């Protein structure tokens, strides 16, 4: 009787289940539910059931794309070395977003903070010590002497390839951008270290061209002049500004004498390699169009349009005073953060009318207008060290930094305090950043709340460039000149910059180190002397001399490295 009842009960359950599948559209034709979706739902249910067998319902465990949180239930600790330039917070663990991050991961961090000004020296000392923290975060510099493969070979860097299986969110972020994945790998296809990955609220991508030429649009309006569109029109504007007595020398180029105006001639400023339209590497200063550009600058200098003190002008230190005194109308090598009312909104100048307008002149040669976009998705390298006793824990903690949750937390801070979500679900900074309870400047207050921000020069994990632009706009009363400047400088289609991540072999590095510095020195001296009229050496003569310095051998090294990068 018991066996019979059991058989009848099993039959009833089977019939009931079959009816349920039929009524709920198991074929996927009646309600749009596909067989694959049904399978995924069943697998999810199976997973939950299996989890329920091993964990209490209120365990607090949660999953982000394969990363289980909290990472540690026992309050484990990691030692982390961080490049950080903030001045307001002495203990990183006092930052509100860092507190929340510790709650979410269950991992406590002992931070060692190093400012950018001492980063090179401290990093060299750290490497020489043989005693390394678990994780090292660097800024845009330095790299390991001899390259990251050398760091692995020296027994300092624990190869990330061995632990990347514990970093599903990092892998997903890299897979979202082809260039980012290439830049994060070695030529052998290995992940040696990790990087800060650039993006926005919604996508992974490089931040574009973040520096270039800008002019004082307020002075342009004062003189009732139209915005110049060509190099010739720009020259005429500079002449009128000088004649009006506003600026004795209206143009401040870079310290090398070059400027991003050379992009209108299809060549990079500064002495550097570039990629032409055929995918071939060339030295910018030996491109014939560079000679045309040099003739124009020599003419401008002779007319008193270029500041003769350009070689000693520091664009980071001297720019505010120059703008305050109306010492120049046109500036080279200007970062996007200083465009618009950026200098005034950050308290660097007192003139609220001074406005720096990003500018790109039309093409001046047949080769067309170029831009310098390194398509850099990976920035600010870091590594797990060989001293780390629990590299799996370190990898999982790092992986949390590449989640959307952490990106919002570390860049925007605390919901309801420093940000709220708008109707589209995007985080937006609140007025509380400016009119904060501590009465601090907004650029200082945000350092107490969000670890990652441009004012502290700290970029880890999934770096949100859009957040930086929004913050600058918030502090500037809604001025979005920074985003507009990047868009203007990034607009040209012809990109001549080598992509970030191109790396030389040891042999190539030896050749480049042997010759390239002398070639660059030769170029810098020629540019300055020719523009200022000290030398009359012809452009052809300079080119011949550059090639006599083994320039072709250096170009061949970069060509080989570039082709390997493209094929990664």
Neighbours of 562 (CB within 10 A): 18
pTM more than 0.85: no
When pLDDT is cut at 50, 70 and 90, the band that residue 294 belongs to is very high
| pLDDT > 90? residue 380 | yes
Find where tokens 């020069």 sit.
457
Distances (CA, A) of 494 to 259, 291, 332, 363, 545: 18, 20, 20, 11, 29
Closest CA to 197 of 228, 176, 226: 176
Model confidence pLDDT, tens digit, residues 36-71 = 322 333 333 333 333 333 344 455 799 999 999 999
Question: What CATH fold (topology level) applies to the domain 211-372+502-566?
Answer: D-Maltodextrin-Binding Protein; domain 2 (3.40.190)
The pLDDT tens digits for 165-182 are 999 999 999 999 999 999
- CA angle at residue 192 from 186 to 193, to 5 degrees? 120
Q: What angle do CA 45, 46, 47 make, to 5 degrees?
A: 90
- What would the CATH number be for the domain defined by 77-200+379-467? 3.40.190.10
pLDDT at 33: 30
Domain ranges, ordered by start, for the chain: 77-200+379-467, 211-372+502-566
Tokens of 122: 């401290």
Do domains 77-200+379-467 and 211-372+502-566 share one topology? The answer is yes
For residue 231, give every residue at least 6 positions away whose Cβ sits within 8 Å of its Cβ, in sequence order, or none: 261, 264, 296, 361, 362, 364
Selected residue with higher pLDDT from 318 and 19:
318
Question: What pLDDT does residue 342 have?
Answer: 87
Q: What percent of the chain has pLDDT over 90?
A: 79
Share of the chain above pLDDT 70, in %: 89
């Amino acid at each position: 009787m018991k066996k019979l009842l059991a058989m009848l009960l099993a039959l009833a359950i089977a019939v009931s289940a079959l009816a349920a599948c039929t009524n709920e559209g198991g074929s996927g034709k009646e309600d749009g539910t596909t067989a694959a979706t049904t399978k995924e739902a069943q697998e999810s249910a199976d997973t939950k059931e299996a989890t329920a067998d091993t964990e209490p319902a209120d365990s607090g465990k949660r999953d982000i794309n394969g990363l289980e949180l909290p990472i540690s239930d026992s309050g484990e600790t990691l030692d982390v070395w961080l490049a950080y330039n903030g001045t307001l917070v002495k203990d990183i663990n006092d930052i509100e977003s860092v507190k929340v991050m510790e709650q979410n991961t269950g991992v406590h961090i002992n931070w060692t903070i190093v400012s950018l000004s001492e980063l090179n020296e401290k990093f060299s000392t750290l490497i020489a010590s043989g005693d390394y923290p678990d994780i090292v975060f660097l800024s845009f510099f330095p790299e390991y002497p001899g390259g990251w493969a050398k760091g692995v070979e020296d027994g300092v860097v624990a190869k990330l390839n061995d632990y990347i299986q514990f970093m599903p969110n990092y892998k997903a972020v890299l897979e979202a951008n082809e260039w980012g994945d290439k830049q994060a790998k070695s030529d052998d296809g290995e992940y040696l270290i990790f990087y800060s990955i650039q993006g926005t609220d919604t996508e992974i991508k490089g931040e574009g061209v973040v520096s270039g030429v800008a002019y004082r649009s307020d002075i342009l309006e004062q003189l009732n002049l139209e915005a110049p569109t060509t190099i010739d029109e720009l020259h005429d504007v500079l002449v009128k500004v000088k004649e009006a007595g506003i600026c004795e020398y209206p143009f401040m180029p870079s310290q090398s004498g070059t400027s991003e105006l050379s992009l209108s001639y299809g060549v990079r400023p500064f002495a550097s390699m570039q990629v032409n339209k055929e995918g071939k590497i060339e030295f910018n200063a030996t491109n014939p169009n560079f000679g045309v550009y040099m003739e124009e600058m020599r003419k401008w200098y002779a007319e008193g349009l270029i500041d003769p003190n350009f070689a000693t002008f520091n664009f980071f230190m001297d720019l505010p005073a120059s703008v305050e005194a109306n010492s120049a109308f046109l500036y080279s090598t200007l970062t996007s953060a200083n465009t618009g009312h950026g200098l005034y909104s950050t308290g660097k100048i007192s003139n609220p009318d001074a406005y720096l307008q990003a500018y790109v002149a039309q093409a001046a040669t047949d080769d067309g207008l170029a831009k310098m976009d390194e398509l850099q998705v990976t920035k600010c390298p870091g590594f797990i060290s060989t001293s780390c006793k629990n590299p799996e824990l370190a990898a999982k903690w790092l992986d949390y930094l590449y989640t959307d949750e952490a990106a919002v937390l570390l860049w925007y801070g605390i919901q309801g305090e420093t940000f709220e979500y708008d109707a589209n679900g995007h985080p937006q900074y609140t007025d509380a950043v400016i009119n904060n309870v501590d009465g601090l400047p907004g650029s200082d207050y945000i350092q107490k709340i969000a670890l990652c921000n441009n004012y502290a020069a700290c970029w880890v994990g999934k770096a949100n460039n859009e957040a930086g632009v929004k913050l600058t706009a918030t502090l500037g009363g809604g001025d979005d000149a920074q985003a507009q400047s990047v868009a203007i400088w990034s607009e040209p289609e012809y990109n001549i910059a080598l992509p970030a991540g191109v790396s030389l072999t040891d042999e190539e590095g030896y050749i480049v180190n042997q010759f390239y510095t002398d070639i660059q020195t030769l170029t810098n001296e020629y540019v300055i002397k020719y523009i200022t009229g000290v030398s009359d050496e012809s452009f052809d003569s300079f080119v011949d001399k550059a090639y006599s310095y083994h320039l072709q051998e250096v170009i061949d090294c970069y060509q080989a490295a570039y082709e390997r990068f493209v094929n990664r």
